[in-house]
Every structure is written in structure tokens, then in C-alpha cells.
Amino acid sequence: MVNEDDGQMAGIYGRMIGLVFCGRLDSSLNKAILTSGNAEVLA
């Protein structure tokens, strides 16, 4: 399931921004890839 971020409707390339939830994860996929070191937050 994807929950679109109401605060940021689209990124700089016009893509939807949201949180991705998978049935097997306790939290969002976004958080899982950040905490595993496979992604980083860019300011």
C-alpha cells in the first residue's frame, strides 16, 4: 500500500511522494531501507 504524502504531492520530477507499507514489515518500507543503510535522506 502507498500512502501519498499530503504535504508533498510531487517531487521535483513530478513523481508521487509517499510512504510504502508491506504486509511483512512492522513499519514502512521507507523506514526499513533508511535504517538498513540502503538509502539516505537528502536535504
Residue 41 lies in a domain: no
Helix, strand, coil abundance in the chain, percent, nearest 5: 15, 20, 65
Q: How far apart are CA 22 and CA 25, in angstroms?
A: 6
Residues 37, 21, 12, 6, Cα dihedral to 10°: -130
Is residue 16 in some structural domain? yes
Cell of 5: 504524502
pLDDT at 13 over 80: yes
Residues in the chain: 43
Instruction: Note whether residue 22 is domain-resident.
Output: yes
43 in any annotated domain: no
Flag whether pLDDT at 30 surpasses 80: yes
Is there a domain that residue 40 lies in?
A: no
pLDDT digits (tens, 9 = 90+) for 14-28: 888 888 888 877 788
Q: How many domains does the chain have?
A: 1
In a domain, 42, yes or no: no
Q: Which domain holds residue 23?
A: 2-35
pTM, two decimal places: 0.56
